[in-house]
Chains A and B, each alone.
Chain A
Amino acid sequence: MPGAALGEGSVGRPAPLHPAYVRITHWINAVAILAMIGSGWEIYNASPLFRFEFPKSITLGGWLAGALLWHFAAMWLLVGNGLFYVLLGLASGRFRRKWLPLRPADFMRDLRAALTGRLAHGDLTVYNAVQKALYIGVMLAGLVSIASGLAIWKPVQLRGLAVVLGGYEAARLVHFFAMAAIVAFFAVHVVMAVIVPKTLRAIIVGR
């Protein structure tokens, strides 16, 4: 199986829960996402879409130009690292194996269990349906944020993309809500890592 070539299921020692490329790209992604969101909040503050601003103490860049420099530098890290992760995830079959199948009935059952505090986390090798939905969901939110970000950055050169998203101003809103979805995922993700600390160990040392 293709996964073997990437260190999954090698003979002798039990395969790590997360192969090295997943662990490395995960933490690079964490840095890139935090830089994108922190600087993005400072950029938002220059011309807020809604009646609130992000507190200066949690933004990155200090002022608009600094935030833009951070945003357009971290984007290369985000996209480069993300491409590497997605290509390996697809080629190795890991995405398919870990995230599929995702059945609505399983999702409803696991969601009920999760909300009533009865969802088991004994076996980390298998994702429950809520987990699968969240991972797939945040991947889609990431794609939407990149597409809308490109449309805002290049509404003339990438005119078609801006049109698909409803024009320049609509793309700003799409970019904002994609960020909000990623932040919501991030909150749940961190809370779960605190509740089930062995998941944190697994994404660092692999098991």
Chain B
Amino acid sequence: MARLRISVPGVDTELLARDAAKLLPDATRRQFLRAGASLGALVFLTGCDIVDGRSAETALRVVSGFNDRVQAWLFDPNRLAPTYPESAITRPFRFNAYYREDEAPDVDEDTYRLLIDGLVDDRQPWTLDRLYALPQETQITRLVCVEGWSAIGKWTGTPLREFLRRIGADTRARYVHFTCAEGYSSSIDMATALHPQTQLTFKYDGEILPTKFGFPMRVRIPTKLGFKNPKHVIGLTVLNAYTGGYWEDRGYNWFSGL
């Protein structure tokens, strides 16, 4: 394992720049269909209509929606993600976001409130003290990034299903949506929200979550890709309407289950 890790680059400026470039967006994002002199051109030489932007994007997104349903069907609510010993933890654990590390939001712990909305009995906002008082569990699991690299870390917090029970959430609802202090958002299916390893996380590696890993609270979901593990979470909504998310709206597959 140690040998393999060499090929996974650590945090460096070059990588950060590349991650930032990925964000550049709308123009770039539109361009994802432009095949140019690529293999794609070779493939679709005979189907000019197919490469013509919008219809291709629509078709690909329809397939992505189909893949959401296939993954929901494949998802076994009782199947646990592998857990690892302390010795397997990746050190140092990599910072990863669409902004630079020094741009991570500073959340004030005294004024912080977790806002609750949607199909729940109790919408009272949660202070950090009250959240910290919830029963907590620790997991050592692998975080798999949509980019392909992975890292093993140790997260401590409250199972989301326990939290949903306490706020009287309607667990027959389809989605749980999260909003974040920096403007990020993501949403997940209820089956994954109720998975025993899906966690409202307050600590990383035994310490209060540092800013770079999502202070004061992130959602850790070892059955989903990393971008579906939002940091600096300030809002939780239970609902039946599809709300997408920051990256999901930009083209990443919504379900993104592991």
On A, residues with C-beta under 8 Å from B are 31, 34-35, 37-38, 43-44, 46-50, 57-70, 72-73, 76, 152, 154-157, 159, 167-170, 172-173
* CB nearest to A170 among chain B residues: B4
Residue numbers in B under 8 Å from A34 (CB-CB): 39-40, 42-43
Residue numbers in B under 8 Å from A172 (CB-CB): 148
Q: Flag whether B258 is at the interface (Cβ < 8 A).
A: yes
CA distance A155 to B25 in the complex (A): 30
Residue numbers in B under 8 Å from A68 (CB-CB): 146, 251-253
By the criterion CB–CB under 8 Å, are B74 and A154 in contact? yes
By the criterion CB–CB under 8 Å, are A60 and B150 in contact? no
Residue numbers in B under 8 Å from A66 (CB-CB): 29, 32-33, 60, 251
By the criterion CB–CB under 8 Å, are B63 and A76 in contact? yes
Which B residues from 129 to 153 make CB contacts under 8 A with A? 142, 144-150
Known contacts A63-B32, A156-B81; decide if A49 and B40 are in contact (CB<8 Å): no
CA distance A18 to B252 in the complex (A): 41
A-B pairs with beta carbons under 8 Å apart, 23 shown: A34-B39, A38-B40, A46-B146, A58-B38, A59-B39, A60-B39, A61-B40, A62-B32, A63-B22, A64-B22, A64-B146, A66-B33, A69-B61, A69-B251, A69-B253, A70-B60, A72-B64, A73-B59, A155-B82, A156-B79, A156-B81, A157-B257, A167-B1
By the criterion CB–CB under 8 Å, are A62 and B33 in contact? yes
CA distance A152 to B144 in the complex (A): 9
Number of contact residues on B: which range applies? 35 or more
By the criterion CB–CB under 8 Å, are B148 and A61 in contact? no
CA distance A31 to B46 in the complex (A): 11
On B, residues with C-beta under 8 Å from A are 1, 4-5, 7-9, 22, 28-29, 31-40, 42-43, 59-61, 63-64, 67, 74-76, 79-82, 142, 144-150, 222-223, 247, 250-253, 257-258
CA distance A52 to B10 in the complex (A): 16
Known contacts A31-B43, A46-B148, A62-B34; decide if A173 and B4 are in contact (CB<8 Å): yes
By the criterion CB–CB under 8 Å, are A44 and B148 in contact? yes
By the criterion CB–CB under 8 Å, are A35 and B40 in contact? yes
Residue numbers in B under 8 Å from A44 (CB-CB): 148
By the criterion CB–CB under 8 Å, are A63 and B28 in contact? yes
Known contacts A34-B43, A50-B7; decide if A57 and B148 are in contact (CB<8 Å): no
By the criterion CB–CB under 8 Å, are B40 and A60 in contact? yes
CA distance A153 to B247 in the complex (A): 18
Residue numbers in A under 8 Å from B39 (CB-CB): 34-35, 37-38, 58-60
By the criterion CB–CB under 8 Å, are B146 and A73 in contact? no
Q: Taking the nearest CB of chain B, how far is it from the CB of A59, in angstroms?
A: 6
Cβ-neighbour of B145 out of A47, A73, A154 (below 8 A): A47
Cβ-neighbour of A73 out of B63, B147, B251 (below 8 A): B63
Known contacts A66-B32, A67-B32; decide if A169 and B38 are in contact (CB<8 Å): no
By the criterion CB–CB under 8 Å, are A168 and B7 in contact? no
By the criterion CB–CB under 8 Å, are B250 and A65 in contact? yes
By the criterion CB–CB under 8 Å, are A65 and B148 in contact? no
Q: Taking the nearest CB of chain B, how far is it from the CB of A139, in angstroms?
A: 22
Known contacts A65-B252, A154-B257; decide if A46 and B40 are in contact (CB<8 Å): no
What 6 A-B pairs come out closest when comparing CB atoms? A66-B32, A65-B251, A62-B32, A38-B39, A46-B147, A47-B148
CA distance A152 to B1 in the complex (A): 16
Residue numbers in A under 8 Å from B81 (CB-CB): 156
Known contacts A63-B28, A66-B32; decide if A155 and B258 are in contact (CB<8 Å): yes
By the criterion CB–CB under 8 Å, are A156 and B32 in contact? no
Q: Taking the nearest CB of chain A, how far is it from the CB of B22, in angstroms?
A: 6
Q: Taking the nearest CB of chain B, how far is it from the CB of A53, in angstroms?
A: 10
Q: Taking the nearest CB of chain B, how far is it from the CB of A62, in angstroms?
A: 3
Q: Taking the nearest CB of chain B, how far is it from the CB of A21, in angstroms?
A: 21
Known contacts A57-B38, A69-B64, A70-B60; decide if A157 and B75 are in contact (CB<8 Å): yes
